[in-house]
Amino acid sequence: MSSEVRRIRLTIAYDGSEYAGWQVQPGQETIQGLIESALRRATKVAVSIQGSGRTDAGVHALAQVAAFTTTNPIPVENLQRALNRLLPAAVRIVGVEVVPLEFHPRFSARGKHYEYRIWREELCPPFLARYVHHHPFPLDVGAMREAAPLLCGEHDFSTFAAADAKDALGRSKVRRIFGSELSEEGSLLVYRVHGSGFLKHMVRNLVGTLIEVGRGNLTGSGLVELLERPNRARAGNTVPGRGLFLVRVDY
């Protein structure tokens, strides 16, 4: 049996509704934990995977990326089939490939794309409820649409970051947003954002702040001021995780 070391990249889609997010947590069922358990059963050894980043409880992914190193020679096609047999239906391995040993899902990433979905009708269909934020109240969608691109560029996004255990390390909260737009698609408002990286709860806080613009409680110039002079207390509430999707990671 070959002992060649291989780096395997996984592309993963999941419905995060029933899980405590991506990252392994004691006593909680998480996406990372499920995949590591399935890999252990498939390869007969303990495997630790690294993801492109954490997604919160209830957040979904169309193409999360993870990777691990192994000496198991199992063909990637067989590994994909084995993992999907072992994983719950809410988690699917949609791609498996061998990549260079230095590949890291987080540190090799050049950007991430997220999408947040808001349902605007009075009644939310039960089959959509797990995948949208239901907000049937009046909003000035035009003002929100005009404000969204103001978030583009390199800024200190402290205003839009939740408290994190890593704050004690004093790491920069400067990130670059390449694209930020809001579109109206029937009964849905869809916010799409593409950036170099994102802080804890950042996208959900950006959406909550755009909703404050739509409610008339914040202007576009007020939004810019929050970027120039960070003030978490003046930003919008954190919207629920269920409306958020990690769409793609760029490498």
Q: Using alpha carbons, select from 89, 117, 144 the residue that is nearest to residue 204.
A: 117
Which residues fall within 8 angstroms of residue 26, CB to CB, at 6 or more apart? none
Beta carbons of 234 and 221 less than 8 angstroms apart? no
β-strand partners of 153? 177
Question: Which token pair is 87?
Answer: 């994983």
The pairing of beta strand 91-99 with beta strand 188-195: unpaired
The pairing of beta strand 174-185 with beta strand 133-134: unpaired
Active site residues: 56
Give the whole-angstrom CA distance, residue 182 versus residue 241: 18
Residue 168: half-sphere exposure toward Cβ, Cα within 13 Å: 1
Question: Which token pair is 92?
Answer: 């699917």
188 SS3 class:
strand
